[in-house]
Amino acid sequence: MAAEIFALALVAGLAAGCATSAKKPAGPKFSFYPAPPDAPRLQFLTSFASSRDFPNSARDKFMTFLTGKTPGVIAIGKPYGGAAGQGKIYACDTASSAVMRLNLVDKKFDALIGVGPITFQSPVNMAVDTNGALYIVDMGLNQLIVTDPSGDLAGTVGEKGKSKPMDVALTADRIYLSDITTHSVHVLDKATRTNLFDIPRPEDTTNILRKLFQPINIAVDARSRLYVSDFGADRVQVYDADGKFLRTIGRRGDNYGEFTRPKGVAVDRDNIVYVVDAAGQMVQMFDDAGQLLMWFGEPNHAARVSLFLPSKVLMDYDDVALFQKYAAPDFKVEHLVIVMNQFGPMPVSVFGFGHKK
């Protein structure tokens, strides 16, 4: 039996006064990026804020029948990171110290507040393995919490006072764990969870152009290249599978192609790099060589959809069919781009990357 701790009542109580009371802005019927006359490559599809977004779920009906009362609303308060794919979206909600799980297929909305004997304090980022195992970074516990595919506790990585993990990424045989205390990314063997080596390599730790200052978010592409969003240096550092420095994307500044507070980073299958700029409240997109392609989500833009304190960007290829219905009739969605917002009425914003038919 999975040793998960679900607390619907707790989160329902936290929902009072949260984003659930705010209405999603109507906006234009279809919001595209870039703006006309350029050909659209990205469309805003929909967003999620609470269990009210699944109003007809079988679970709600069963609980109403069982108790005679309508279940309380579960709200996403202040998400930072998350994960998406395999029919689910997870949001690490620091406001309620829980991981919200949106089951897109069954239309269920649950709150995970711990695993086994561990109660979350401040879950900030996570990854889901191909077998369904969860890897959750808790900034309050200063640990990476690992479950097995059934949801039971499989182990932890890190000790309070010795490290401060911020984000996690996975490959077939490795775990990548960013650590702002050691200014590095630990590369671990997935089977044993033992450290193989750290990035940057020792010869780069004193090189101001290649080192890391505050590695808060990470991503790994299909070639096992590591992308590190360095909040302390306002740039993204790119390393190969062995930890060799390759290049820098962006620099400090407030212009397009520059960053002031870079946070989430992701890479799609075409090696397009997506970087969240929290200060500019947008996501900027770069090609494989680090050249700016486009951006989306800048705030207070009357014709398009705004982002509010964005923190994480996720790629999802598994669930396109579930969201194609939100797209314009002549727009074909190739993959989903999901952005976590720490403020505003759309904490989980879903965009579709694609092309006109």
The mean pLDDT of the chain is 88
Token pair belonging to 157: 């990585």
Q: How far is residue 40's CA from residue 331's CA, in Å, rounded to a whole number?
A: 8
pLDDT tens digit sequence for 8-48: 333 333 333 343 334 454 445 688 999 888 999 999 999 99
Q: What percent of the chain has pLDDT over 70?
A: 86
Q: How far is CA 234 from CA 204, 227, 289, 293, in A?
A: 18, 13, 18, 19
Token pair belonging to 272: 């397009």
Task: Answer whether residue 4 shows pLDDT above 60.
Answer: no
Question: What pLDDT, on a 0 to 100 scale, did the predictor assign at position 39?
Answer: 93
Containing H/E element for 237?
Answer: strand 235-239
pLDDT tens digit sequence for 125-158: 999 999 999 999 999 999 999 999 999 999 999 9
Question: What pLDDT, on a 0 to 100 scale, did the predictor assign at position 58?
Answer: 59
Question: What pLDDT, on a 0 to 100 scale, did the predictor assign at position 159?
Answer: 82
Question: What pLDDT, on a 0 to 100 scale, did the predictor assign at position 231?
Answer: 96
DSSP string, 293-307: EEEE--TT-TTSPPP
Q: How far is residue 178's CA from residue 212's CA, in Å, rounded to a whole number?
A: 10
Task: Answer whether residue 69 shows pLDDT above 80.
Answer: no
Question: What pLDDT, on a 0 to 100 scale, did the predictor assign at position 37?
Answer: 87
Number of neighbouring beta carbons within 10 Å of residue 108: 16
Q: What percent of the chain has pLDDT over 90?
A: 76
Q: How far is residue 58's CA from residue 62's CA, in Å, rounded to a whole number?
A: 6
Q: Of 59-73, 161-175, 333-347, which gets the smallest average pLDDT? A: 59-73
Torsion of CA 303, 308, 312, 313, to 10 degrees: -10
Question: What pLDDT, on a 0 to 100 scale, did the predictor assign at position 2?
Answer: 40
Question: What pLDDT, on a 0 to 100 scale, did the predictor assign at position 36?
Answer: 83
**Selection from 101, 130, 104 nearest residue 5 by Cα:** 101
Task: Answer whether residue 226 shows pLDDT above 70.
Answer: yes
Q: How far is residue 325's CA from residue 327's CA, in Å, rounded to a whole number?
A: 6
pTM for the predicted model, two decimal places: 0.89
Q: In what order do the strands lie in the sheet with 184-189?
A: 165-170, 174-179, 184-189, 195-199
Containing H/E element for 58?
Answer: helix 58-67
Q: Which residue has the tokens 């720490």?
A: 342
Q: How far is residue 353's CA from residue 56's CA, in Å, rounded to a whole number?
A: 28
Q: How far is residue 209's CA from residue 202's CA, in Å, rounded to a whole number?
A: 14
pLDDT tens digit sequence for 291-303: 999 999 876 554 4
pLDDT tens digit sequence for 153-187: 999 999 877 889 999 999 999 999 999 999 999 99
pLDDT tens digit sequence for 87-122: 999 999 999 999 999 999 998 889 999 999 999 999
